[in-house]
C-alpha cells in the first residue's frame, strides 16, 4: 500500500496516489502531495485558489467540478490551470485537493 | 461493498456454475477451437508489451490463455472430464477465478498484438473477453471499472456529468470559439434537429480537457459542416461495456447513441477521437443490439481527411513546425481498421511527421487500453507495460505525440511524466485547428485569414 509521510504520521494512498480517505485532507497534506505526487516544491496563491475551490465543491457535491467552473470561480484562464498542475485537473489538482480519483478515461 | 477478494471467497457453487455457463455462451465455434489450438510456440511472448517490459511467465499471452483453456477443457471437453491431467484440464474453482482475474483484467489490455503474431492465428482478445464476461457475471469486475460503466447506465455518460454542466460547458466553448475565430456567428450547435452530423465526444473533454472539443468545433466551423451535439444522453461516445464485457450493459450504452440519432434525425453519427469508442460503436454495437444501424457512422478522422482531400478546408503545415509522431490506438487501428486517414491528415497539417517503429497494426499498446486506466489496482503494471510505448516515442525524437484517443492521451501524459519524455500530447483535431487557413462560412469584419 502506498503511503505519504506527514509529520511522522503515515497517510494511506491508493496505487495512483489519491487519498484512500478523502476526509483526512488538510493544507499540510495538500503540500505533501504536491511534492511527492506532482513534483511541485511549493504551492502559490493560484494553486491554493484552485485547490480550495475543488475541495469546497467536492464537500458540497461529492464530485469534482467541471474545469469550466474552476476557471469561472478562480478567474484563471484554462491554459493557466494546465500550467499550475502539470498532470492536469484530475491527476493534479483534484489529487492535491484530496478527492478520490474521478471515473472515466482519466 | 465487499472487496474483490472477499467476493471471491464468498463465491457459491451456483455462482461458479453460472460464470462457466456465461463463459461458454460467449464462445462461438472459432473461439472454442482456439482453446484447443495453442501449440505453446511462445512467439506471442515478444509481441506482448507486458512480457517485453517484465519477462515473467505470467505475462506470456499463451500462459494467460492456458488458465482459460484449462477450465474450458475440464468442464466442456470429454477428455478434460475423463483424463484431466493428460490434457492440462483444471477445475474452475476459486484459485482458477483468481488466475483468470489476474490474467484477463490484470495483465491484458485486449490490444490484440499477440493475436496478430500468433502462428495459429488464435484470437486471444475474444477469448479473454469471454473470460471477463464470466467474471462480470459473477460480480467480479474491479470496482473502479464497474463504476465507470454504472455512470453511463445511470447518467448517460461515464463521468456522471449533469446535463446542466454539459450544456454550460458547451456554451462557454462556443464563446471561446467565437473569440478565437473572430466570428460571432461561429456556433457549437446543441440539439439541432435534422443536422447532417451528430458529433460525439469523450466526457473527459468537457470535464477536464475541453481544448480538443473546441478544436473539433473549429474544424467543423471552417468546413461549414451542418453538425450538432446532443444535450441529452447520446453525446458520450465511450462504452466501458467493451471492457467489463457485460454485453447487456454495453448494448444499453450503445442504445444512447442510437436514440440520439433517431431523436435528432441526423444522417451520420461521427465518433470523436477515441479508440474503444470507435470500436464499440462501429463494430460491436450492432452485435450487442442485434440490429443494423439505420444511419451512417464514421470516425471524425475520416471526416477530417475528407475535408482536406476535397479542399473543403485548407491548412498550412508551417504552423505546426515541431516534429510530430502518431500513436496508433489499438481499438481504432489494429481492431478498428482506421489507420490511413489520420496519417493523410497529419502529413498535410504538420511540417515534420515521423512514424514510430513499429506502427499501424503492429504498433504497441500504450498500456492504458482494455480498461486499465480505470483500474487503480494494476497501476504499477500499467506504467511498466507502457515502457514499450515510451521507448518507441523517444526513438522518434518527436516533441509532439498525436493520439486520436483520449484514453491513450491520459496514459501518454503519465508516461511522459514517468519516463521524462518531454513531449506534448495532442489530438489530430488540435493539429488541424492550429494549421487552418480556411475562412469560415460567414466571415465577419476583423477576422484574420491568411
> What CATH number is associated with residue B100?
1.10.1060
- CB pair distance less than 8 Å for A106 and B172: no
Between the alpha carbon of residue B169 and those of residues A66, B214, B220, B416, the distances in Å are 8, 11, 18, 28
Same domain? B161 vs B88: no
Tens of pLDDT, residues B268-281: 999 999 999 999 99
Please give the sequence-ordered ranges of beta strands (E in DSSP) within B252-397, or none if there are none: 268-271, 296-299, 323-326, 352-354
Number of neighbouring beta carbons within 10 Å of residue B158: 28
Q: Which stretch of DSSP H or E encloses residue B197? A: strand B197-200
| B447 found inside a domain | no
Residues B240, B300 within the same domain = yes
Does B289 contact chain A (CB < 8 Å)?
no
pLDDT score recorded for residue B439: 63
A104 within a domain of the structure (yes/no): no
In this structure, are B269 and B186 located in the same domain? yes
Smallest Cβ distance to A105: which of B147, B373, B379? Answer: B373
* One domain, residues B343 and B360: yes
Domain check: are B436 and B326 in the same one?
A: yes
Instruction: Kindly give the pairing relationship between strand B424-426 and strand B400-402.
Output: parallel
Domain that residue A8 falls in: 2-96
B210 touches chain A (CB under 8 A): yes
pLDDT digits (tens, 9 = 90+) for B127-150: 999 999 999 999 999 999 999 999
Burial-class residue A80 by CB neighbours within 10 Å (0-12, 13-18, 19+). Answer: middle
User: Residue B271: helix, strand or coil by DSSP?
Assistant: strand
Domain boundary among B140, B172, B197: B140
B236 close contact with A: CB closer than 8 A: no
Residue pair B188/B166 in contact by the 8 Å Cβ criterion: no
Mean pLDDT value of segment B299-324: 98
Q: Give the mean pLDDT of chain B.
A: 96
**Cross-chain residue pair B377–A91, CB shorter than 8 Å:** no
Last-in-domain residue among B113, B140, B167:
B140
Contact list, A14 vs chain B (CB under 8 Å): 376
Q: What share of chain A is helix, strand, coil (3-state, %, to 5)?
A: 55, 10, 35
The answer to whether residue A71 is domain-embedded is yes
Cβ distance of A68 and B379 shorter than 8 Å: no
Residues B57, B135 within the same domain? yes
- The verdict on A92 touching B (C-beta cutoff 8 Å) is no
Cβ neighbours of B376 in A, within 8 Å: 14-16, 18, 101
Give the CATH number for residue A49.
1.10.10.370
B167: contact with A, CB 8 A cutoff: no
Q: Do B148 and A104 touch (CB under 8 A)?
A: yes
pLDDT band at B354 (very low <50, low <70, confident <90, very high): very high
Instruction: Note whether residue B189 is domain-resident.
Output: yes
Give the residue-averaged pLDDT of B164-189.
97
Facing B159 at nearest CB: one of A68, A69, A104: A104
Burial class of residue A60, CB neighbours in 10 A (0-12, 13-18, 19+)? exposed
User: Is residue A105, in this structure, part of any structural domain at all?
Assistant: no
Q: Which chain A residues have a beta carbon less than 8 Å from that of B410?
A: 91, 105-106
Q: How many domains does chain A have?
A: 1
Contact call for B379 and A15, based on CB within 8 A: yes
pLDDT at site B444: 43
Cβ contact (<8 Å) for B413 and A90?
no
CA pair distance B156, B208, nearest whole angstrom: 18
Q: List the helix and strand counts (H, then E) for chain B.
A: 25, 8
Average pLDDT over residues B66-77: 97
Domain count within chain B: 2
The answer to whether residues B116 and B334 touch, using CB atoms and an 8 Å cutoff, is yes
Same domain, B51 and B195: no
First to last CA, chain A: 21
Residues of A marked active site are found at 105
Query: What is the arithmetic mean of pLDDT over A70-96?
Result: 96
Give Cα B14 distance to the centre of its chain. 34
CB contact under 8 A, B151 and A104: yes
Mean pLDDT of B378-391: 98
Sheet holding B352-354, edge to edge: B352-354, B323-326, B400-402, B424-426
Can you tell me the distance from the alpha carbon of B423 to that of A88, in angstroms, rounded to the nearest whole number?
15
- pLDDT score of B445: 39
Q: How far is A1 from chain B (nearest CA, A)?
A: 10
Interchain CB contact of B207 with A (< 8 Å)? yes
Give the mean model confidence (pLDDT) for residues A12-28: 94
- pLDDT score at A105: 85
Residue B72 lies in a domain: yes
Report how many Cβ contacts below 8 Å link chain A to chain B: 84
Tell me what the mean pLDDT of segment B378-398 comes to. Answer: 98
Of B337, B409, B400, nearest to B369 by C-alpha is B409
Average pLDDT over residues B65-71: 98
Does a structural domain hold residue B448?
Answer: no
Residue B172 touches partner A, C-beta closer than 8 Å = yes
Residue B447 has pLDDT above 60, yes or no: no
Same domain, B378 and B424: yes
What pLDDT is attached to residue B443? 44
B182 shares a domain with B169: yes
Q: Is residue A41 part of a domain?
A: yes
Strands B197-200, A9-13: pairing is unpaired
Residue B450 lies in a domain: no
Has residue B126 been placed in a domain?
yes
Does residue B445 lie within any of the structural domains?
A: no
What are the pLDDT digits (tens) for B219-246? 999 999 999 999 999 999 999 999 999 9
| Last-in-domain residue among B99, B125, B140 | B140
Do B145 and B121 share a domain, yes or no?
no
pTM of the model: 0.95
Residue pLDDT, tens place only, B256-270: 999 999 999 999 999
* Interchain pair B417, A86: CB under 8 A: yes
A20-34: average pLDDT: 95
Q: Within this chain, do residues B331 and B426 fall inside the same structural domain, yes or no? A: yes
Together in a domain, B239 and B364: yes
Which residue range(s) make up the domain with B41? 4-140
Residue B175 has pLDDT above 70, yes or no: yes
Residue A106 lies in a domain: no
E strand or H helix at B93: none
pLDDT, tens only, B80-120: 999 999 999 999 999 999 999 999 999 999 999 999 999 99
414-433 in B: which are within 8 Å (CB) of A? 414, 417
Q: Is A105 on the interface with B (CB under 8 A)?
A: yes
Amino acid at each position: 500500500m502506498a503511503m505519504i509521510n506527514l509529520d511522522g504520521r503515515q497517510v494511506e494512498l491508493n496505487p495512483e496516489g489519491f487519498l484512500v480517505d478523502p476526509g483526512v485532507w488538510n493544507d499540510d497534506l495538500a503540500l505533501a502531495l504536491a511534492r511527492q505526487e506532482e513534483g511541485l516544491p511549493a504551492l502559490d496563491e493560484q494553486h491554493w485558489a484552485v485547490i480550495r475551490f475543488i475541495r469546497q465543491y467536492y464537500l458540497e457535491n461529492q464530485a469534482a467540478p467541471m474545469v469550466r467552473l474552476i476557471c469561472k470561480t478562480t478567474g484563471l484562464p484554462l491554459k493557466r490551470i494546465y500550467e499550475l498542475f502539470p498532470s492536469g485537473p484530475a491527476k493534479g489538482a483534484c489529487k492535491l485537493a484530496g478527492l478520490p480519483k474521478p471515473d472515466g478515461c482519466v | 461493498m465487499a472487496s474483490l477478494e472477499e467476493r471471491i471467497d464468498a463465491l457459491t457453487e451456483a455462482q461458479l456454475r453460472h460464470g462457466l455457463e456465461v463463459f461458454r455462451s460467449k464462445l462461438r465455434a472459432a473461439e472454442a477451437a482456439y482453446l484447443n489450438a495453442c501449440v505453446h510456440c511462445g512467439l506471442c511472448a515478444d509481441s506482448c508489451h507486458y512480457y517485453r517490459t517484465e519477462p515473467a511467465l505470467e505475462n506470456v499471452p499463451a500462459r494467460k490463455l492456458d488458465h482459460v483453456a484449462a477450465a474450458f477443457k475440464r468442464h466442456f471437453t470429454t477428455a478434460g472430464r475423463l483424463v484431466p491431467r493428460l490434457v492440462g484440464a483444471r477445475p474452475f474453482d476459486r484459485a482458477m477465478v483468481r488466475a483468470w482475474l489476474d490474467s484477463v483484467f490484470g495483465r491484458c489490455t485486449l490490444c490484440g498484438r499477440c493475436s496478430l503474431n500468433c502462428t495459429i492465428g488464435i484470437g486471444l482478445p475474444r477469448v479473454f473477453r469471454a473470460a471477463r464476461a464470466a467474471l462480470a457475471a459473477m460480480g467480479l469486475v474491479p470496482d473502479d471499472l464497474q463504476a465507470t460503466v454504472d455512470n453511463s447506465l445511470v447518467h448517460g455518460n461515464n463521468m456522471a456529468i449533469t446535463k446542466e454542466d454539459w450544456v454550460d460547458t458547451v456554451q462557454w466553448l462556443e464563446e471561446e470559439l467565437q473569440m478565437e475565430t473572430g466570428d460571432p456567428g461561429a456556433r457549437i450547435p446543441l440539439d439541432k434537429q435534422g443536422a447532417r452530423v451528430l458529433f460525439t465526444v469523450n466526457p473527459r473533454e468537457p470535464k477536464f480537457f475541453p481544448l480538443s472539443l473546441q478544436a473539433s468545433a473549429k474544424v467543423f466551423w471552417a468546413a461549414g459542416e451542418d453538425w450538432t451535439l446532443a444535450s441529452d444522453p447520446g453525446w458520450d461516445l465511450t462504452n466501458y461495456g467493451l471492457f467489463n464485457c457485460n454485453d447487456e450493459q454495453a448494448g444499453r450504452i450503445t442504445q444512447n447513441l442510437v436514440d440520439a440519432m433517431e431523436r435528432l434525425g441526423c444522417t451520420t453519427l461521427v465518433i470523436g477521437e477515441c479508440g474503444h469508442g470507435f470500436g464499440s460503436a462501429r463494430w460491436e454495437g450492432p452485435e450487442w443490439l442485434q440490429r443494423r444501424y439505420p444511419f451512417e457512422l464514421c470516425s471524425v478522422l475520416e471526416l477530417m481527411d475528407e475535408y482536406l482531400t476535397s479542399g473543403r478546408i485548407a491548412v498550412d503545415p508551417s504552423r505546426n513546425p515541431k516534429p510530430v509522431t502518431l500513436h496508433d490506438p489499438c481499438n481504432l487501428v489494429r481492431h478498428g481498421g482506421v489507420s490511413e486517414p489520420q496519417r493523410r491528415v497529419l502529413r498535410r497539417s504538420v511540417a515534420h511527421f515521423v512514424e514510430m517503429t513499429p506502427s499501424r497494426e503492429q504498433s504497441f499498446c500504450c498500456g492504458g487500453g482494455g480498461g486499465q486506466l480505470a483500474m487503480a489496482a494494476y497501476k504499477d503494471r500499467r506504467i511498466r507495460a507502457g515502457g514499450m510505448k515510451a521507448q518507441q516515442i523517444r526513438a522518434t525524437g518527436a516533441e509532439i505525440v498525436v493520439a486520436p484517443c483520449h484514453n491513450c492521451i491520459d496514459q501518454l501524459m503519465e508516461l511522459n511524466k514517468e519516463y521524462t519524455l518531454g513531449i506534448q500530447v495532442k489530438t489530430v483535431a488540435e493539429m488541424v485547428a492550429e494549421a487552418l487557413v480556411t475562412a469560415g462560412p460567414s466571415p465577419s469584419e476583423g477576422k484574420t485569414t491568411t
